Structure 1
Amino acid sequence: MNVLPGAEPFAHDGTRTGVLVCHGFTGSPQSMLPLAKRCAAEGFTVRLPRLPGHGTHWKDLNRTRWTDWWSAVDDAYTELAQRCDHIVAVGMSMGGTLATLAAQQHPHGIGGLVLINPAYVMRDIRLKALPVLQHVVPSIASIAGDIKKPGVSELAYERTPLRALQSQRRMWEQVTRDLPQITQPVLLLHSPDDHVVPPECSALLLARVSSADKTEVLLHDSYHVATLDNDAQLIEDETVQFIQRVTAASS
């Protein structure tokens, strides 16, 4: 299994403030690398794992399930927990789902959540056929590369593997069910013009979490892969300020 150039995981050891960064479905660490490196430049300890089945070939992803992706995220969390006093989880798209799951599974270890166009539910009528279709067709057209900024591309698969997609749906169901368990401060950054994740995902998060501290930032000049889009600087600035604020409050 050869990892695509640019899809490697990223790690940086810094202060005792940790940042757990999660990339999205069919993507790779490349989409979150600028944000991870900004956090490292601020001195934070950072872990950005490459999720199993990602960053190689889409057929590899079809051989994995959501529990495999979660295991990689949980391992990265364990590394941070051994080094850090405070940890904030950051994720985009399915990475946002995984970051939310981390906060649910480690309510005393994750002190805050930064979510960028997170995915929790899809109402696409075509998904109703997915339980059967996954056994007939291995993949469909790609969902990657939804970026407004000209000349920028996402290192992601050219196909969407259906067995893996069906597994992701099961993760959505569990994480969405348990959203009221979230009490940590939340920074939600989302694009009104997103061609992958519907706006109801952000509305659902804000409505169902139990957090008293919720900040919503609209990304008006970006599509789904906002960390590589026109609002990347805004995302990085807001994320750093949020991490500094919530970790200072818990010190």
Structure 2
Amino acid sequence: MKAPKGAGTGALLIHGLGGTQYDLGPMHKALRRVGVETHAVTLPGHGGQPDDLLPVVAEDWLDSVTRAYDELVDKYETFHVMGMCMGALLALALCERRQHRKGQLVALSAPVFIDGWSTPWYRFLRYPVYHIPGLSARIRVDEDEPFGIKNDLVRAVVKAKFERGDNFHYRWVPLACVRQVDRLRRWVLGGAHRIACPTLVVHAREDELTSLRSADFLEAAVPDVRKVVLEDSYHMICVDNDREQVVSSVLDFLGFDPARARRQSRRLVEVPMEAEAIGTLVGEYIAALTTQHFEAVFPLLAPTVQWRHLATHPLAGTYDDRDAVIAMFARLGELAGGQPVHITATSAPRIEGQTAEFGLAVSFVADGVPVAWRGTQFLQCSNGRITAVEYRPSAGVSADTATT
């Protein structure tokens, strides 16, 4: 990740427990757009399987980010440290450990206290379990809905990735690993007042893992601090509803104009769309459908997409926005009982103006009965997105629920 020539600013970004750089959403890209050279670190026990976390202790994580910091900090005139979730705890502990003064510190959703609204009342029972030999290594802490995400679209994408087994975040972590997070929390509780650099704390009011008590503590303990409270996100703030506010708050705190990043991203949208751009968009849409990566369909749709399904089967009807379309795909999965839904493009897309049409065949098994239908799908495209979809059954398939 090379910065533009002459740039003298670097940043170390630290992901969360069980996570990857996905935890930080668009942060790397936004920082690079304003001239910051970003560096990622993969924490010990990550990037493989959840069991890889079993031998890891908190010192391993802190030593890992300290080594990365020591290798990078002298290469830049200014060097910032940023972390998300457990990565925020590590960023706080690192800056206290190294008495970081060469740049600023950003703590995103730092779980100084694990007391959010979705944490069970019996969470305190983990402490005696820690002292029963071998038990905490055998207990799994699953990643369940809402996956730290309030936005329906993003949550659907994350859920689909988990169901496919994509290696973007662990599906569970051992309780023994949570014990190490608790040790990190104690280090931050005891050392936050010694942090020497300006610090930004960003936290969601509705964080399901860690309440605003964490942000309030950091605001009171860290000598030079700015706090931003988000009103429309859960824990994973870099990918949730307030992600643009998170990016803007971080860039502003670091002394950059947030509009620089926004302007560059908007230039990527073609208005009006040329035939080649429509072909690319439709190709991505068909590829997502035919490979059953339905979560990849949703970002291609405009938030106000109008979807009409002209048929008499259970999916028939009009869907007035993207959230409704997401619910429709969820309903399709329910009809198929979690089994594969096979979708095939039966003809190449024909593009005319801002519209495209192509043949479509769908088949799956519902309650042991094979179901299949064929028809044509029409897409209306505008401003880089699909704004309208209409499915029409083939002539002679009146009920559109023919079984084979």
The two structures have a TM-score, normalised by structure 1, of 0.85
Of the three residues 135, 147, 150, the one matched with 1:148 is 150
Q: Structure 1 134/30 Cα, relative in aligned 2: closer, same or farther at 3 Å?
A: farther
Does 2:238 correspond to 1:227? yes
Larger Rg: 2
Does 2:200 correspond to 1:191? no
Structure 2: any 5+ residue segments left out of the alignment?
116-122, 162-167, 257-404
Query: Structure 1 CA distance, aligned partners of 2:133 and 2:229?
Result: 35
Query: Structure 2 CA distance, aligned partners of 1:66 and 1:31?
Result: 19
Does the 8 Å CA contact 1:103/1:110 hold for their aligned counterparts?
no
Does the 8 Å CA contact 2:25/2:239 hold for their aligned counterparts?
no
Aligned pairs for 1:1-251 within 5 A:
11-14=1-4, 15-122=7-114, 124-132=123-131, 135-137=134-136, 138-143=138-143, 145-152=147-154, 153=158, 155-211=168-224, 214-244=225-255
Structure 1: any 5+ residue segments left out of the alignment?
1-10, 246-251
Farther off after superposition, 41-50 or 63-72: 63-72
Aligned residues with identical type, % of pairs: 25
- Name the count of aligned residue pairs: 233
Does the 8 Å CA contact 2:77/2:102 hold for their aligned counterparts?
no
Q: RCO greater where, 1 or 2, for CA within 8 Å and sep 6 or more?
A: 1
Q: Structure 1 75/13 Cα, relative in aligned 2: closer, same or farther at 3 Å?
A: farther
1:135-176 per-position Cα deviation (integer Å, ceiling 9, x unaligned): 214232324621011232283211121222112211211221
Deviation (angstroms), 1:133: 5.2
Does the 8 Å CA contact 2:3/2:36 hold for their aligned counterparts?
yes
Task: Give the SS at the match of 1:146.
Answer: coil
Does the 8 Å CA contact 1:89/1:110 hold for their aligned counterparts?
no
Query: Structure 2 CA distance, aligned partners of 1:161 and 1:110?
Result: 36
Deviation (angstroms), 1:94: 0.7
Query: Structure 2 CA distance, aligned partners of 1:110 and 1:131?
Result: 38
Task: Give the SS at the match of 1:21.
Answer: strand
Farther off after superposition, 128-137 or 96-105: 128-137
Does the 8 Å CA contact 1:179/1:205 hold for their aligned counterparts?
yes
Does the 8 Å CA contact 2:83/2:108 hold for their aligned counterparts?
yes
Q: Which residue of 2 aligns with 1:249?
A: none
**Letter of the 2:177 counterpart:** A
Query: Structure 2 CA distance, aligned partners of 1:34 and 1:188?
Result: 18
Deviation (angstroms), 1:134: 6.9
Q: Structure 1 126/151 Cα, relative in aligned 2: closer, same or farther at 3 Å?
A: farther
Deviation (angstroms), 1:119: 1.7
Query: Structure 1 CA distance, aligned partners of 2:97 and 2:16?
Result: 19
